[in-house]
């Protein structure tokens, strides 16, 4: 164990805070530049980071917590009570004094946290211009997607041409 003295604890806490700020800045840049690329989507708004144990050399794993507020709606029947009139028109009262039930809606709000793990190469955190690197990766990814779409269109056109030739 590398923590033996009070100074080690202070150093570890400060280092974790600094690392958290670095990772948060990197993830915000990733979100702004290439969100959704390769199936990784960093949530908009506020998110929290928890570091996981290092499993691969040179890669940092972090669990991202995204706060989600959920509002649920419940339909309820509220009883309407008789205030001592005895009968209400031709309606007979039930033994508890309830005239009828009124439909009503109640709302409740709860907060949940979705979470997922991302792995970041540590070298990316120390890249002085990681925003330019992310932009370059996004351009390469977009080019690959465009090429794949073009190849799919060519394959579809060749298939259609083959069908037309065989039909003629």
Calculate mean pLDDT across residues 134-144.
93
How much of the chain exceeds pLDDT 70, in percent? 88
Calculate mean pLDDT across residues 123-127.
90
pTM of the model: 0.64
Q: pLDDT category, 83, cuts 50, 70, 90?
A: low
pLDDT value of position 3: 82
Q: Is the pLDDT score of 153 beyond 80? A: yes
Instruction: Report helix, strand or coil for 128.
Output: coil
pLDDT value of position 33: 93
Region of poorest pLDDT, from 86-100, 118-132, 144-158: 86-100
DSSP state of 39: G
Higher pLDDT, 85 or 7: 7
Q: Beta-carbon neighbour count of residue 120 at 10 Å?
A: 16
Q: Is the pLDDT score of 12 beyond 60? A: yes
Higher pLDDT, 55 or 153: 153
Order of all β-strands in the sheet with 98-121: 47-51, 59-81, 98-121
Calculate mean pLDDT across residues 36-64.
86
Phi, psi angles (nearest 5°) of residue 87:
-120, 160
Helix (H) or strand (E) holding 106: strand 98-121
């Amino acid at each position: 164990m590398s923590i033996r003295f009070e100074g080690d604890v202070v150093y570890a806490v400060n280092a974790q805070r600094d690392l958290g700020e670095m990772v948060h800045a990197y993830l915000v840049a990733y979100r702004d530049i290439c969100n959704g690329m390769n199936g990784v989507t960093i949530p908009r708004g506020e998110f929290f980071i928890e570091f996981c144990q290092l499993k691969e050399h040179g890669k940092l794993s972090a669990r991202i917590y995204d706060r989600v507020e959920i509002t649920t709606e419940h339909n309820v029947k509220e009883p309407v009570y008789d205030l001592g009139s005895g009968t209400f028109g031709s309606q007979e009262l039930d033994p508890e004094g309830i005239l009828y039930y009124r439909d009503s809606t109640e709302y409740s709000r709860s907060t949940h946290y979705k979470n997922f793990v991302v792995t970041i190469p540590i070298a990316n955190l120390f890249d002085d211009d990681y925003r330019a690197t992310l932009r370059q990766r996004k351009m390469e990814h977009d080019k690959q997607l465009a090429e794949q779409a073009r190849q799919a269109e060519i394959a579809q056109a060749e298939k259609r041409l083959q069908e037309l030739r065989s039909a003629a």
